[in-house]
Amino acid sequence: MDLLAAGSPREVIGKLAKHLGCSPTSREVAEYLDEHDELRHLRQQFLFPKVGELPQSDLSLVDGSEECIYLAGNSLGLQPKNAKKYIDEELEKWATIGVHGHLMGSRPWAWAENNLEDLMAKIVGAKPEEVALMNGLTVNLHLLMLAFYQPTAKRHKVLLEDKAFPSDHYAMESQIRLRGFDPSTSMLLLKPRPGEDTLRTEDIVSTIEREGQSIAVVMLSGVQYYTGQLFNMEAITKAGQAQGCYVGFDCAHAVGNADLKLHDWGVDFACWCTYKYMNSGAGGLAGAYIHEKHTNTVKPVLLGWWGHNLKTRFQMTNEMDLQPGVSGYRLSNQPFLLVCPLQASLEIFNQTTMKDLRKKSILLTGYLEFLLKHYYTKDASDPERPCVHIITPGNPMERGCQLSLSFSLPIRAVFKELEKRGVACDMREPNVLRVAPIPLYNSFSDVHRFITVLGSALAASKGVQHN
Ligand SMILES: *Cc1c(COP(=O)(O)O)cnc(C)c1O
């Protein structure tokens, strides 16, 4: 469709409004975009909570039978319809054949996760043998750091974001202590410039150039959980490696959100969870990646039987035949119940590509941004009008689908009013509302509904403030 092909989201929306003979803020624009959305069928493969089922809904304000406005997939992805079916199949198998389930059925438990790694690898832009599904995210981060972080008196620092996700911060702190170094001198924290919300690539790169000889590992997120900033992983990897550092990324908020090319970018290692954009359910099986160039050089520090060559694993010889690369980092046999929902989600991803998802995502988030700015920009003639500050970078190349918003009103009050009206989004201290339209299952109408509800929520929270 030509109308949708050309230009920035703002231009597309403008052209469309003209074509339809309506205002760019009209619901018709959203409906048109949904009708022409080539990925719209994927929504049918997920379970959407109903407004009336959400605990904070106020049914005097909204119709409980409607689907909720789910914009929290960055925190917990929706349930794929097949998740339950696959779990039921495995429970049935366990009930009927017991121990034989290890080797039988469509998901033999002894290598069930291996069947998913091809699909997972596609999503992060890696070779299948560079990816392992195992453990939780923070566990994988520790396993990878144990191997890659080999500090010396000269080169002992870890570079990370000042406001990294707390788990990553604690992990780095404890890794540094474990090696006998002091976090106050070995943790190097990147802060945005005064008055700015996000980090500039040029500042990250110049810090690496300045401090690089003392940095052992550069460990940043791919997409920052709080600001929604998508880092230039390729440039950061290049800068870090030029200084002799290993470069790793926590892709918790990048996987299934940004079009990752971990292999081509030469990223040394990465890890991610799968319950956010990957819809595997809380505590789902996490991912780890190690570039093939390290296959025979960077060895796992901790060993378990699942790191042993599958062909001879069950001969129980106590002689380790370590699988090459990231596969050797496996420790335990996999929880088959966790394989099921992740498989259901990966099969949906496999019906499209990250390139196409990203294309929709840029328009979908651009549409949200357009409407927010339209209604909530500072207006000198109307000082009472609430206004929004979007912390997330305006350039679509520097963000995923999430926008992080703060308002001229207290965020907690706004959040409460949104929840009463059937919106699921997420509030993060100190002052941010995170709103994530997910291209896999959110529609343009979801975004339009959100903006309408936001209007009432802001009006109501103004009331709250004055009372
Ligand atoms: C979600 C998230 C985590 C959570 O860690 P778990 O080990 O999965 O509990 C850690 N780090 C980042 C950056 C995250 O976004």
Counting residues of the chain whose pLDDT is more than 70, the rounded percentage is 98
Mean pLDDT of 110-130: 95
pLDDT at 370 over 70: yes
Q: Which of 397, 378, 135 is nearest to 274 (CA)?
A: 135
**Dihedral sign from CA coordinates of 210, 213, 215, 221:** positive
Residue identified by tokens 């069947």 is 115
Ligand 1 atom nearest the C-alpha of 141 is 7
pLDDT band at 457 (very low <50, low <70, confident <90, very high): very high
Ligand 1 centroid to 272 CA: how many Å?
Answer: 8
Q: Which of 14, 90, 76 is nearest to 46 (CA)?
A: 76
- 299: number of Cβ within 10 Å: 14
pLDDT band at 386 (very low <50, low <70, confident <90, very high): confident
Mean pLDDT of 205-211: 98
Max CA separation in the chain (angstroms): 80
For 340-365, write each residue's pLDDT tens digit: 999 999 999 999 999 999 999 999 99
Instruction: Supply the pLDDT for residue 165.
Output: 96
pLDDT at 466 over 50: no
Counting Cα atoms < 13 Å in the Cβ hemisphere of 204 gives: 23
pLDDT band at 409 (very low <50, low <70, confident <90, very high): confident
pLDDT at 5 over 80: no
Mean pLDDT of 234-243: 98
Output the ligand 1 site: residues, CB below 6 A: 136-138, 165, 167-168, 221, 225, 250, 252-253, 273
pLDDT band at 467 (very low <50, low <70, confident <90, very high): very low
Ligand 1 atom nearest the C-alpha of 137 is 7
Instruction: Supply the pLDDT for residue 464.
Output: 59
Ligand 1 atom nearest the C-alpha of 286 is 8
> Which whole-number Å values give the CA distances from 412 to 6, 145, 228, 466, in the listed order?
39, 37, 19, 15
Ligand 1 atom nearest the C-alpha of 221 is 13
Identify the residue whose C-alpha is closest to ligand 1 atom 8: 137
pLDDT band at 200 (very low <50, low <70, confident <90, very high): very high
For 84-102, write each residue's pLDDT tens digit: 999 999 999 999 999 999 9
Cis peptide before 393, with omega less than 30 degrees from 0? no
The β-bridge partners of 72 are: 436
Ligand 1 centroid to 296 CA: how many Å?
Answer: 28
Identify the residue whose C-alpha is closest to ligand 1 atom 1: 252
Ligand 1 centroid to 301 CA: how many Å?
Answer: 22
Instruction: Supply the pLDDT for residue 462.
Output: 78
> Which whole-number Å values give the CA distances from 453 to 61, 351, 458, in the listed order?
10, 32, 9
Instruction: Supply the pLDDT for residue 385.
Output: 83
Ligand 1 atom nearest the C-alpha of 273 is 8
pLDDT at 407 over 90: no
Cβ pair 276, 76 in contact under 8 A: yes
Average pLDDT, the chain: 95
Ligand 1 centroid to 167 CA: how many Å?
Answer: 6
Measure the CA–CA gap between 311 and 309, rounded to whole angstroms.
6
Measure the CA–CA gap between 403 and 394, rounded to whole angstroms.
9
pLDDT band at 2 (very low <50, low <70, confident <90, very high): low
Q: Strand, coil or helix: what is 2?
A: helix
Mean pLDDT of 24-44: 97
Identify the residue whose C-alpha is closest to ligand 1 atom 10: 167
Kindly calculate the radius of gyration of the chain based on its CA atoms and give it in whole angstroms.
23
For 291-343, write each residue's pLDDT tens digit: 999 999 999 999 999 999 999 999 999 999 999 999 999 999 999 999 999 99
Ligand 1 centroid to 66 CA: how many Å?
Answer: 31
pLDDT at 114 over 70: yes
Q: Strand, coil or helix: what is 80?
A: strand
Cβ pair 224, 254 in contact under 8 A: no
Instruction: Supply the pLDDT for residue 111.
Output: 92
> Which whole-number Å values give the CA distances from 82 to 49, 92, 306, in the listed order?
16, 15, 28
Ligand 1 centroid to 466 CA: how many Å?
Answer: 38
Enter the tokens of residue 459.
Answer: 């009006």
pLDDT at 463 over 70: no
DSSP codes of every residue in 82-151: HHHHHHHHHHHHHHHHGGGGGT-SSS-GGGTGGGGHHHHHHHHT--GGGEEE-S-HHHHHHHHHHHH---
Ligand 1 centroid to 392 CA: how many Å?
Answer: 20
Cβ pair 274, 288 in contact under 8 A: no
Ligand 1 centroid to 136 CA: how many Å?
Answer: 8
Mean pLDDT of 218-235: 98
Instruction: Supply the pLDDT for residue 383.
Output: 80
Residue identified by tokens 């929880």 is 335
Ligand 1 centroid to 222 CA: how many Å?
Answer: 12
Ligand 1 atom nearest the C-alpha of 136 is 7
Given ligand 1 and candidates 134, 138, 139, which is best to mutate, with the most ligand atoms within 8 Å of its CB? Answer: 138
How big is the chain, counted in residues? 467
pLDDT band at 1 (very low <50, low <70, confident <90, very high): low
Q: Which of 258, 330, 426 is nearest to 110 (CA)?
A: 330
Ligand 1 centroid to 366 CA: how many Å?
Answer: 26
pLDDT band at 461 (very low <50, low <70, confident <90, very high): confident
**Dihedral sign from CA coordinates of 416, 420, 423, 424:** positive
- Helix 354-376 to helix 444-466 angle (10° resolution) is 40
Given ligand 1 and candidates 250, 273, 277, which is best to mutate, with the most ligand atoms within 8 Å of its CB? Answer: 273
Instruction: Supply the pLDDT for residue 378.
Output: 80
